[in-house]
Amino acid sequence: MANLFQSVRGFNDVLPADSAAWQQLYRIAGEVFAAYGYGEIKLPLLEHTGLFKRSIGEVTDIVEKEMFTFTDREGDSLTLRPEGTASCVRAGLEHGLLHNQQQRLWYAGPMFRHERPQAGRYRQFHQFGVEAYGMTGPDIDAEVIALSARLLKRLGLTDVTLELNSLGGSEVRKRYREALLEFLLRHESSLDADSQRRVRSNPLRVLDSKSETTQALLADAPSIQDAFDDAARAHFDGLQQALSDLGLAYRLNNRLVRGIDYYTSTVFEWTTTQLGAQGTVLAGGRYDGLVEQLGGSATPAVGWACGIERLLLLQKALGVEIDSSAADVYFCWLGEAAQREARKLAEQLRDMVPGLRIVLHADGGKLAAQLKRANRSGAAVALILGDTEVEARTVQVKSLRADAAGASAQQILPWPELAALLAGLVK
RNA sequence: GUGGGCGUAGCUCAGUUGGUUAGAGUCCCAGAUUGUGAUUCUGGUUGUCGGGGGUUCGAGUCCCCUCGCUCACCCCA
């Protein structure tokens, strides 16, 4: 109990029992990204603090109170990345990937936010993200959303809803913000305490307040659609048309705003009710101003990120089957001579049958104890090699699963025939 | 950062108005079976009762402080 050391709060270990689910998730995600022609970009975990302040927004909660920031030995302020988009844009600019070009990129890895941990929220958590640059039309918005839908579907995640909104573009957003602010200031005293605090710092955030009285008040608030110009309307209509063409159901939610400043037009979220308070599983939108804001030429961009732990939690809640990572074969041996042969045979089998998973028993012990371990290992088959078998150059092949009705539970096989038989166990 | 719940064996938990050496199940180990698992039977190991202090003849139990976990708020993936 009273261990000398514990992991840092909110920083979790993933144990072997869970890592199979992680590996399967990464494999499937990689396949889906490849299916749309997206290339992986590997980004550092640490960036200059200013990058995040400038991109996410000085007055957002992420920047104000959630970043892991420290001063290094040279006096520079560095921050463990709280999200991936800022790094992606920085890298794209640094390596000339964005100027007058189109890019389809994805990334994966840990992100860090100094929040109080709770279900589905950790201080080190992991995200997949997708970013597309240099394309202005709603077709690319539809593409990244279709990609996300395919990913969720491939992962067996059914109980999710796509919510959609548009902030209309940076001009529209700015104009709407002023109209909304004016409305909110008129009713400031009727707002809940959290919303009152947000009115001046980030008025759009008041829209998705959880307070019922605030929501009731907002019924009379100006609607963002009313602030749309022709271009904004055409873009949003085009996106909805594309989603309908693909048969992707969505729910319009004009209260949907994202907490990060750089979103300008399309915003969307996949949500679930299965995960307690953390209902957002994947979210993103269009951020046409960010590249320029970080020093590049004006470049349209759209992307999303998903929380890997939340996907895994949802898989678990929905009872999604995970591939077994158990061994196929457990190799038992009795005596020193047999151990030496078993060691060589196991290596030969690994050469001859790629993908075969063999556990070679270690540390001796009686056969009953070895078979007990074999059974617990999850292996389908136990191999048994003793002096008798070494002499005859054979091995006992014992089935550990009763499901194959009629199949002989145990047989004796000459060494040369072993590989062919065990090849049948590889999935 | 704010609030609620919870910390007893590797795991899941019981532990009476404070009372002697802190328990069960499971897991693990050994034997029954000196070369056959998963079933059965027998035996065995496992504890700074989260940590520190206090009250008391006596504290797992009461009080104070503290740490951790967890859920929710805030916020977000």
Name the residue with tokens 């269009």.
A286
- Residues in binding site of A: 83-85, 113, 127, 131, 258, 262-263
Average pLDDT over residues A346-361: 95
The enclosing domain of A301 has a CATH number of 3.30.930.10
Which element (helix H / strand E) includes A124?
strand A124-133
The answer to whether the C-beta of A141 is closer than 7 A to strand B is no
The answer to whether the C-beta of A15 is closer than 7 A to strand B is no
Contact A130, A222 (CB under 8 A): no
The answer to whether the C-beta of A85 is closer than 7 A to strand B is no
Of A14-23, A73-82, A407-416, which gets the smallest average pLDDT? A407-416
Q: Residue A290 CA to B43 C1' — how many Å?
A: 71
Instruction: Kindly report which amino acid residue has its CA closest to the C1' atom of nucleotide B69.
Output: A9
Mark which of A318, A339, A355 sits at the end of a domain.
A318
The answer to whether the C-beta of A372 is closer than 7 A to strand B is yes
Contact A228, A168 (CB under 8 A): yes
Average pLDDT over residues A378-401: 93
pLDDT value at residue A403:
54
A40 part of a folded domain: yes
Same domain flag for A400 and A354: yes
The enclosing domain of A337 has a CATH number of 3.40.50.800
pLDDT value at residue A402:
64
Give chain A's domain count. 2
A399 part of a folded domain: yes
Pairing label, strands A39-40, A103-112: parallel
Q: Which nucleotide is nearest to A60 (CA to C1')?
A: B75
Cβ contacts of residue A68 below 8 Å, gap of 6+? Answer: A79, A80, A82, A112, A113, A114, A123
Of A131-135, A255-259, A389-393, which gets the smallest average pLDDT? A255-259
pLDDT digits (tens, 9 = 90+) for A92-121: 999 999 999 999 999 999 999 999 999 899
Predicted complex ipTM: 0.86
- Portion of chain A with pLDDT greater than 90, in percent: 66
Same domain flag for A61 and A139: yes
Q: What is the mean pLDDT of chain A?
A: 91
Distance from C-alpha of A69 to C-alpha of A12, rounded to nearest angstrom: 20
Tell me the residue range of the domain where A375 lies.
329-423
Same domain flag for A345 and A268: no
pLDDT value at residue A281:
95
Write out the two tokens for A382: 């136990």
The answer to whether the C-beta of A116 is closer than 7 A to strand B is yes
